[in-house]
């Protein structure tokens, strides 16, 4: 019995949360949580909250995240 979700990563595009997408984009460019947090001027705990979907960034930080990770804000 094969599970296709294992072949495509830890989440599917349809089921990806904001946090999943931030973590995947961060990992894709080789940044650790502490590196991205430092570049954003936030605490690592704050970034962890975003990636775990327990918190959301303010609009100005969302724009910075998109720019640093080179992704669309959508």
**Spatial distance between the Cα atoms of 33 and 43, rounded to a whole number of angstroms:** 10
Domain ranges of the chain: 16-69
Strands (E) located in the chain: none
Write out the CATH class of domain 16-69: mainly alpha
| Residues 23/51, Cβ–Cβ less than 8 Å | yes
Nearest-CA neighbor of 67 among 14, 25, 19? 25
The tens-digit pLDDT sequence of the chain (74 residues) is 444 444 445 556 677 899 999 999 999 999 999 999 999 999 999 999 999 999 999 999 999 999 999 998 87
Nearest-CA neighbor of 53 among 9, 17, 11? 17
């Amino acid at each position: 019995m094969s599970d296709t979700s294992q072949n495509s990563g830890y989440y599917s595009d349809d089921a990806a949360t904001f946090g999943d997408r931030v973590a995947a984009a961060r990992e894709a460019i080789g940044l650790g949580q502490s590196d991205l947090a430092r570049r954003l001027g936030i605490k690592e705990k704050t970034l962890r909250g975003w990636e775990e979907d327990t918190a959301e960034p303010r609009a100005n930080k969302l724009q910075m995240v998109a720019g640093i990770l080179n992704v669309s804000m959508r």
